[in-house]
Amino acid sequence: MPSTRERILTAAYDLFYKEGFARVSMDAIANAASVTKRTLYYHFDSKDALAAAVLAHQHGYALAHVQSWRDAAARTPAAFLASLFRQLDAWAAAPRWLGSGFTRLTMELADLPGHPVREAAHRHKLAVETWLAEELQRLGAGSPEELAREVALLLEGAMTLTLIHGDSGYIATAARAADRLAAANGMMIEDSAS
């Protein structure tokens, strides 16, 4: 059985993900977690602190989700990149998909550079980019850090534009751009997302 703190974090993440930071009240979070408001404030002294804790809690799950996109059979950087975009396309096709919760919460707080949510999102996105670089290096890509940064931009842009336009064709476009990057790096992506 999850602890009270875990119930609060799970309920808050679900609400923030579905409705956004600004539209969710502490009352709604307490209600969704089946705790009193007093209990909620015992664990988290503010909505800002709660949101930062939510993202810190979700980091491991979200990073594992992205890492699961790696096809274990991928033996080349090209196959690795192809698997990323195929899995992104499959994730975006899920009912009620809303993109990255880290990105969505950060965008709501874009005018607050020191906000703890932005710091948590920064750490998460940096961890994803670091993992990409490690995988690309392991698979023999040239300039793995630079390629990882380019791929991170393509993944993030594809998610954001797919969410904005409701058109997963942006993922296929990002996959083709990754294909061109791979070709420039001397490796063609096999079976790009279409």
**How many Cα atoms within 13 Å fall on the side-chain side of residue 18?**
13
- Count: domains in the chain: 2
pLDDT tens figures, 18-71: 998 999 999 999 999 999 999 999 999 999 999 999 999 999 999 999 999 988
112 and 168, same domain (yes or no):
yes
26 and 116, same domain (yes or no):
no
pLDDT tens figures, 64-82: 999 999 888 888 888 899 9
Domain limits at 41? 1-45
pLDDT of residue 194: 41
Q: Is residue 38 part of a domain?
A: yes
Q: Is residue 84 part of a domain?
A: yes
User: What distance in Å separates the CA atoms of residue 157 and residue 192, rounded to the nearest whole number?
Assistant: 17
Helix (H, G, I), strand (E, B) or coil at 173: helix
176 and 82, same domain (yes or no):
yes
5 and 25, same domain (yes or no):
yes
**In terms of C-beta distances under 8 Å and separation of at least 24 residues, what long-range contacts does 144-150 make, across chains too?**
147/77, 147/181, 147/185, 150/178, 150/181
Q: Is residue 126 part of a domain?
A: yes
pLDDT of residue 189: 44
164 and 71, same domain (yes or no):
yes
26 and 79, same domain (yes or no):
no
User: What global pTM score does this model have?
Assistant: 0.85
Q: Find the CATH number of the domain harbouring 88.
A: 1.10.357.10
The average pLDDT across 120-136 equals: 95
191 pLDDT tier (thresholds 50, 70, 90):
very low
101 and 142, same domain (yes or no):
yes
What's the token pair of residue 111? 């005018």
